[in-house]
Chain A
Amino acid sequence: MRTGAAGETLSDAELVRRAQEGDELALEVLVERHQDAAFRVALSLVGDTDLAQDVVQDAFLKAFRALGGFRGEAAFRTWLLTITANAARGALRKQGRRREASLDAVGPVASTEVDPEESAVVGDEAARARAMLVDLPEKQRLAVQLRIDEGLSFREIGEVIGSTEGAARVNYFHGIHRLRERMER
């Protein structure tokens, strides 16, 4: 059965199953469903909107090419975000970029759209909090972002950042603690 307009209500597992059978619409629903999360992970790591889009495109292509071997041990989203994070690191290595964190640097919010539903409540304070994320070490940054923005469990975060569930939890709480300390300065 091909995926129709109702595909948006299907689970990821069902969409993946259909995509594995060659259903292109199922692929499209997966892209629409997860592009924001993938973009946020990419942006968090590369710090550049254009490069983040390249990374997301690359990550989806890699994921879909490997879909035949996807057995569903991990959730599709976790798997995709892991691929995205690896693609982002690869893009950085390729470009030989080094991100120097700075409170004065242009943060993601300043150069990127914010969720329209939340835009009304986003003020300077929120933008400042978001911009400070770039100051955190990579694992803390990703742990905070994946927990708050995407609602991943600590086990899932561990899969993405390459650590144990416990280490992911520690990274999250250390990251939050550091951010709050800096906000209060």
Chain B
Amino acid sequence: MNMRCEFARELIPDLVGGRLAAEEAARVGSHLETCDACRAEADFVRLLFASRPVAPRELVSRVREAVRAGEGSARRPWWGLAAAAVAVLALGIGVASRGATEATAPVPGFVAEGTAVNVWFADDGMIAGAPALDGLSDDALQALLDELGSGGTGGTA
């Protein structure tokens, strides 16, 4: 069975790319044997297909690392959340107790060290979550500060 040129030309890219089923490839192929115009087009498409560029080898690892980094900021790991919660709890207690002791530190202790020694209810920084704060991003720290700054402690001067 012969095939119309219009239909054959639509399928030439798939023939060249090896994407046709055997039966359909045979139909297109037999058309090309009898049609000079379509055969010339197939030859040209073959040139283009053969010269298609490929991504540099390093792109995969680059994207992989970017995705992982992106996930790190978008989906905080459980230990990060736990550490942040501990830090917020500790700071909250410290800030609350500040009122009782009439402490006047205007900002949380981890920002202005030495100005609010009573902020930490334990000397053990691990309990207070200090090491975890080291691992928080600037944005996360800022969010903590914002939250604490508007936490009903009378605000900052």
Contacts and interface: CB of A to CB of B under 8 A. Distances in A.
Contacts of B60: 28, 31-32, 35
A56 B13 contact: no
B51 A151 contact: no
Given A31-B60, A60-B67, A36 B16 contact: no
Interface string A80-99: 00000000000000000000
B19 interface: yes
Given A60-B63, A180-B41, A129 B48 contact: yes
Contact of B67 (A27, A125, A130, A151): A27
Contact of B66 (A60, A118, A149, A179): A60
Helix, strand, loop or mixed for chain B's interface?
helix
A39 B53 contact: yes
A130 B19 contact: no
A163 interface: no
Contacts of B55: 35-36, 38-40, 53, 56
Interface residues of B, number: 33
Nearest to B6: A173
Interface in A41-62: 43, 49, 53, 56-57, 60-61
B9 interface: yes
Contacts of A22: 75
Contacts of A109: 51, 53
A60 to B, nearest CB: 5
Interface string A109-127: 1001111101001100111
A64 interface: yes
B59 interface: yes
B52 A114 contact: yes
A163 to B, nearest CB: 17
A113 B58 CA distance: 12
Contacts of A130: 47-48, 51-53
A113 B54 contact: yes
B66 A49 contact: no
Interface residues of A, number: 48
A33 to B, nearest CB: 10
B47 A126 contact: yes
23 contacts: A24-B67, A36-B54, A36-B55, A39-B55, A39-B56, A40-B55, A49-B56, A57-B63, A57-B66, A60-B66, A60-B67, A108-B53, A109-B53, A112-B56, A113-B56, A126-B51, A129-B48, A130-B53, A149-B48, A169-B10, A173-B9, A176-B44, A183-B44
Interface of B: 9-10, 13-14, 16-17, 19, 40-41, 44-45, 47-56, 59-60, 62-64, 66-68, 70-71, 74-75
Interface of A: 22, 24, 27-28, 31-32, 35-36, 38-40, 43, 49, 53, 56-57, 60-61, 64-65, 108-109, 112-116, 118, 121-122, 125-127, 129-130, 133, 144, 147-149, 151, 154, 169, 173, 176, 179-180, 183
